[in-house]
Chains A and B, each alone.
Chain A
Amino acid sequence: MDFLMLAVQILVFPGLLFMTAMGVLLTGLGGKLVARLQNRVGPPVLQPWYDILKCFGKEMIVPEHAGRAVYIGAPVLGFAVLCTAGFFIPMGGRAVFSGTADVIVVLYLLTFCSVMAMAGAASTGSPFAGVGVSREMVAMISYELPFVLILLAVGKLAGSDTGGVTFSLQSIAEWQRIHGPVLFHWSMIPAAIAMLFVISCEAGLHPFDVAEAETEICEGLLAEYSGLPLAFYRLTHCVRLFIMTALFAALFLGGLAAGNDGLAVLLLVAVCIVLTFLCMALPHGICARLRVEQLFRFYWTVVTGLALVSLVLVWFGL
Chain B
Amino acid sequence: MILINYIAAFALIALGFYCMAVKKNLIKICIGMGIADYGANLLIVSVGFHDGGTAPIFTIGELTRASFFVDPVPQALTLTSIVIGACTTAMTLSLIIRLKEKYGTLNSDEIRRLRG
Within the complex, are A and B direct neighbours (CB within 8 Å)? no
